[in-house]
Structure 1
C-alpha cells in the first residue's frame, strides 16, 4: 500500500478514526486472508481517488483486538465508514472496486447530510 493508506494500530484508533476531522474509511484485513489481497488494490484506488475527502486507514485484525471489538468486526475483509465519531456504513466480505466506490459514496452522502 502507498502513502495514501495509513497503517494504524489499536493505540492510534481513537485519534486517527474517531477524532478525525474528515470522514474515515477503516479497512480491516489479515495476512492469512485471500479475499483481503483481492480487495487491497481497490482500497488503495479509493484512497488515491478520494484522498482529499476521506482518510483511509488499515488495521490488521490479529494485532488490533480492541479496534476489532469496537467496530464489531466478525470477518475479513471488513470495511467501516466513520464520520463525527459514528460508524455510518459497514460491510464485511470481499467486494468489487465499483461496489467499494459505491460504499464510499454512500458514506460521504450520509456524512454531508448529518
Structure 2
C-alpha cells in the first residue's frame, strides 16, 4: 500500500478514524529533508502494509492540520493510534531509524 495524500478536509476520516495506526508525514515540496525521507516512507508503507498506514500532508496546501498539532518544523512525523497522537518525531532520519521508531510504537 503506497502512502496516501491527505488534506485538511480528509484528515479526520483518514487519520483519526483509521482502524490501524497511522503515521502522518507533514512535508512540503521545497523541503530537502522531506524529499529525502519520502522514498523510505514509501518503502515502509509497502513493507508494513496492514500493520500501519502512512499518509502525507503538504503543509503549504493544508495549513490547518499542522497548526492544530503545533507543527513548527518539517519533516514532522506523527503517529496516531485510535485517533490520538502517541508519538512524534521531527527531522529526517535513515530508513532503519524510521522503521525502528515505528516498530517501537506499535
Task: Pick the TM interval, shorter chain.
Answer: over 0.9
1:51-109 per-residue CA deviation (whole Å, 9 max, x = no partner) reads 1110110010111111101222111111000001110110111111111001110221x
Equivalent in the alignment of 2:7: 9
Q: Distance in 1 between matches of 2:44 and 2:98?
A: 8
Detail structure 1 runs of 4+ shifted over 3 Å in the superposition.
none
Equivalent in the alignment of 1:65: 63
Equivalent in the alignment of 1:38: 36
Structure 2's unaligned 5+ residue stretches are none
Bigger helix fraction: 1
Normalising by structure 1, report the TM-score.
Answer: 0.89
Normalising by structure 2, report the TM-score.
Answer: 0.95
CA RMSD of aligned residues (A): 1.0
Structure 1's unaligned 5+ residue stretches are 109-114
Once the two structures are superposed, the pairs formed by residues 1-114 of structure 1 within 5 Å of their partners are 4-108=2-106
